[in-house]
């Protein structure tokens, strides 16, 4: 019976050591206070292209807000001549805070339909909206 208890004790120590070694210390996360209110963006002109049965729109945006935008999201809606929604993209979501000064490339893919006339691109974040991104040819410093 003594050998059995010793063996169980040794196995337990080995398992504990292996579990401790497997848990490498994670780098400390830094909490950022999200910006609340209307976010400010600069936006390069968008480029739309046809790829199969999709209209792919690509452009870059820069956060010029005074703080990080958390839950940054971009959506695209296409309308026909009568103003009815005929297509739209899956939302582009940034998984990490969009820090001031950061530039992100956005790609939106909308199913192509024959009566697509005009589009509306909307920007938002978890604590507000972005009403009018400033169109620029070159980002400010």
| pLDDT value of residue 80 | 93
Question: Domain for residue 95, yes or no?
Answer: yes
User: What is the count of structural domains for the chain?
Assistant: 1
Question: Domain for residue 16, yes or no?
Answer: no
Least Cα distance to 56 among 124, 137, 112 occurs for 112
**89 within 8 A of 108, measured Cβ to Cβ:** yes
H-helix segments, the chain:
2-22
Question: Domain for residue 85, yes or no?
Answer: yes
Please report where in the chains the tokens 């690509």 appear, as a residue. Answer: 58
CATH of the domain at 127: 2.60.40.10
Question: Domain for residue 76, yes or no?
Answer: yes
| pLDDT value of residue 90 | 92
Question: Domain for residue 31, yes or no?
Answer: no
| pLDDT value of residue 122 | 93
Question: Domain for residue 123, yes or no?
Answer: yes
CA dist 101 and 68 (Å) reads: 9
Question: Domain for residue 10, yes or no?
Answer: no
Show pLDDT as tens, one digit a residue, over the chain (141 residues).
Answer: 667 677 667 766 666 766 665 565 666 667 778 999 999 999 999 888 999 999 999 999 999 999 999 999 999 999 999 999 999 999 999 999 999 999 999 999 999 999 999 999 999 999 998 888 999 999 987
| pLDDT value of residue 12 | 67
Q: Residue 67's domain spans which residues?
A: 41-135
């Amino acid at each position: 019976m003594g050998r059995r208890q010793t063996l169980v004790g040794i196995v337990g120590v080995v398992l504990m050591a292996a579990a401790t070694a497997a848990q490498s210390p994670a780098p400390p996360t830094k909490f950022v206070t999200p910006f609340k209110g209307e976010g400010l963006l600069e936006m390069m002109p968008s480029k739309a292209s046809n790829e199969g049965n999709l209209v792919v729109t690509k452009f870059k945006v820069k956060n010029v807000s005074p703080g990080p935008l958390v839950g940054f999201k971009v959506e695209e809606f296409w309308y026909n001549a009568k103003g009815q929604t005929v297509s739209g993209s899956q939302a582009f979501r940034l998984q990490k805070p969009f820090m001031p000064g950061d530039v992100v490339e956005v790609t939106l893919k909308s199913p192509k339909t024959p009566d697509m006339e005009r589009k509306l691109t909307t920007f938002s974040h978890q604590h507000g909206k972005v009403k009018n991104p400033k169109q620029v040819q070159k980002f400010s410093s």
